[in-house]
Structure 1
Amino acid sequence: MEIFQAAKPTVLILENSDKSLLRIGELLSSRYTVKAVSGGRSVQQVCSDEQPDLVLIDTIRPGNQGFEVCLQLKQADHTRQIPVIFLTREADADQQQLMFDLGAVDYIPRPIHPGTMLARIRAHLADSVVRRDHRAHTDIMNHEALRHSRQLAALQEVTLLALASLAEIRDSETGNHLKRTQHYIFALGQYLRSNPRFTRYLTAERLDIIFKCAPLHDIGKVGIPDKILLKPGRYEEAEYEVMKAHPKLGHDAIVKAQSLVGDQSEFLQIAKEIVYSHHEKWDGSGYPQGLKGDDIPIPARLMAIADVYDALISKRVYKDGMSHQDATQIILAGRGSHFDPDLVDAFVALGGVFQGIASRFADTEEELLEKLKQSELAQ
């Protein structure tokens, strides 16, 4: 359904019920241009073609798709500022907090009261216009600085992805492992921004850096011999000790790069923390430094839970992947020993989001067969 009227704000609706969609469309169409879509990819397409001024998302979607769509919008630079309002029947305190943690500006309880819906949409659109005008003014005043910043960011991202791809080519993991862990980390970080322990650290800018640096977490595996790195099944004790060297190898490579170019930016500092400390454990039993509790950098703690979850659910040449439920039980068992307890709680709350990310970036049979061939050639 699409209603075109010039000079009206555009409201995009992701609604599960055709009947409800028609009702909402009729309510809004006299004041707004209404666009409706049926799936998450459609939302991204519409937002890429012509940005709406506000998005309404029904939470009753298969596999918590509505929550994942909100995360995707908040993750992308060009859609991050679009206000998102959830339509929900489940408005208890935990559900409300989850919606706000994912980046929504508001929620409207069902059954929908027309006056309430119109008032809340009007208020958030007015606020959005003010913020958009301010951003436009800032962009004009800082055009050259912004252009330079984007060029630098693009160069950093290309460099990071090239380095990560180099490690992935030699690893038993597929390229989608990098994408999945990136998005798991972003979901956890977005959720934890409202937690007092993490609020000051997990700014939007820093979370963006963590997201971009995440694919580097196993860059040190470049220095591990193929016969060990690509070995199917469990390592012998001596092999495992060699494998455990990869965090330090990656860390030392970044330190050397820093010294060569004289770059001590937060970007490389976060990359170094993820690479060096993502195998540390909350109780101090991890490696390579045996760090404990809050001494483990936050980016590394995020990567630890993302990396373990993905390893558990992913099919590999030497094992089948386990279910989300079984993986969740293992991670829960590591609460307070392997993992930061607050991160485990966030992971459990975001279970449906994690499943959606795993499905969206699932490995293909062709990718797994390619890794099998690679492993056989190395033996």
Structure 2
Amino acid sequence: MQAARMPRPKFTVLVVDDVPENLSHISGLLQPLYHVKVAPGGARALEIVRGSAPPDLILLDIMMPGMDGYAVCGKLKSDPRTSDIPVIFLTAMAEDIDQEMGLGMGAADYISKPVNPAIVMARVAVQLDLKQARDRLHEQNRFLEQEVTRRTDEMNGVHEATALVLAGLATARDNDTGHQLVRLQHFVQALARRLSRQPRHAPALSTPVIDLLFRAAPMHDIGMLGIPDRILVKPTPLTQRETALLQTHPARGRAALEQVERRLGRTVPWLELAKEIAHAHEERWDGSGFPRGLAGVAIPLSARLVAVADVYNQMTQPRIGRVPCAHAEAVALIGAARDRLFDPDVVDAFLAIEDEFQEIARRYPDTEADFHKQLALRDAVGDTA
């Protein structure tokens, strides 16, 4: 006893032949099971196929005046919109070389004339079953690609959230705020996009790299976790010993991120940039920075970008015991430090988009609650001193 077949969806079959009797005969065979369209020549067939409702299968005569079946098949297979539609050649040309030529052009099958109705129906059914299977496979592949993209986006979101949480642990212990990190991300992103317009920097600042910089920038001061609170919020000038201890935060930051990477057991691109930034964002173009006294292009580009963004960020926001600079004053100070403290190319990029920096600062301002957090932290440290 044969197993019951699953109901077949009503496919559309296009029959192409220049002989009206052939069109009538073959379409008559197919109509009980399929939607049938007919075309008396190659040009009309292409119009139908490229219309709003292309067929699922094409039965195509080879020997036609004007545009023969080979030419039609070639055009179908060269067009991404129609290349997946299976083509079965119908022809009285029964030589092996003719079949090899048709199959070599991408035809799915070959039926010789005069046609045998049972063979036509069987081969049409086989090709439509194969097409349905291919379509399902393509759909599954599309779903899997979308799922991979979704999960990758989720993982990127987790990485970014982890970076912000870790960086937030550092900023929660000094006079900085959570908004400071968000501003810094957008400052660095804006600088990198502007600098990427310069031919010599474009290869190093592709869109994926800029995205990684956006995620890595908040880690610049992660090393502050290793600095005592009494130093971070001290209202009076630091002693020489305290300054030396504070200046260990870049090396501490890099070491902490290296430990994270070792635990992961693999290299993570955004962590690579985060390590660069954490270790070198306090270096200065003229070699006067710390911890290694690097100068010029020996300083990683990622750190040179963060250096300018971080200084603007620090200068223009209110802190306990420090009056913020106006935007114009901060711009002037950074411009004056061009080719001395900061990479001249980065400063030029900053000067070109200073209005964008000001807009970012307006979009992510510190709040009254942030200021009270600073006061509470200072008082808490003072009480335990």
Map residues 260-271 of structure 1 onto 2, 5 A cutoff: 260-271=263-274
Moved more, 317-326 or 366-375: 366-375
Matched, 1:360 2:363: yes
**Which letter does structure 1 place at the counterpart of 2:372?**
L
| Residue equivalent to 2:214 | 211
Sequence identity, in percent?
39
Map residues 88-237 of structure 1 onto 2, 5 A cutoff: 142-237=145-240
1:288-329 superposed Cα distances (whole Å, 9 cap, x missing partner): 111111111111111000110111111101111011111112
Matched, 1:370 2:382: no
Structure 1 residue 283, shift from structure 2 partner? 1.2
Between the two structures, name the one with larger relative contact order (CA 8 Å, sep ≥ 6): 1
Moved more, 234-243 or 137-146: 137-146
Identify the match of residue 273 of structure 1 among 265, 270, 276.
276
Identify the match of residue 337 of structure 2 among 330, 334, 341.
334
Matched position secondary structure for 1:254: helix
Structure 1 residue 263, shift from structure 2 partner? 1.9
Matched position secondary structure for 2:172: helix
**Which letter does structure 1 place at the counterpart of 2:179?**
N
Identify the match of residue 261 of structure 2 among 250, 253, 258.
258
In the alignment, the residues of structure 2 paired with residue 340 and residue 139 of structure 1 have an alpha-carbon distance, to the nearest angstrom, of: 45
**Which letter does structure 1 place at the counterpart of 2:259?**
K
Identify the match of residue 296 of structure 1 among 274, 296, 299.
299
Matched position secondary structure for 1:200: helix
Moved more, 136-145 or 265-274: 136-145
Q: Which has the larger radius of gyration?
A: 2
| Residue equivalent to 1:241 | 244
Structure 1 residue 137, shift from structure 2 partner? 12
| Residue equivalent to 2:328 | 325
In the alignment, the residues of structure 2 paired with residue 370 and residue 163 of structure 1 have an alpha-carbon distance, to the nearest angstrom, of: 18
**Which letter does structure 1 place at the counterpart of 2:267?**
Q
Query: What's the TM-score once normalised by structure 1's chain length?
Result: 0.62
Matched, 1:315 2:318: yes
State the Cα RMSD in Å.
1.8
Moved more, 236-245 or 149-158: 149-158
The answer to whether the 8 Å contact 1:139/1:146 transfers is no
In the alignment, the residues of structure 2 paired with residue 187 and residue 225 of structure 1 have an alpha-carbon distance, to the nearest angstrom, of: 33
Structure 1 residue 265, shift from structure 2 partner? 2.3
Query: What's the TM-score once normalised by structure 2's chain length?
Result: 0.61
Any stretches of 5+ residues in structure 1 without a counterpart?
Answer: 1-135
In the alignment, the residues of structure 1 paired with residue 188 and residue 143 of structure 2 have an alpha-carbon distance, to the nearest angstrom, of: 33
1:138-185 superposed Cα distances (whole Å, 9 cap, x missing partner): 965722332332232122112111101111211211111111111111
> How many residue pairs align between the two structures?
244
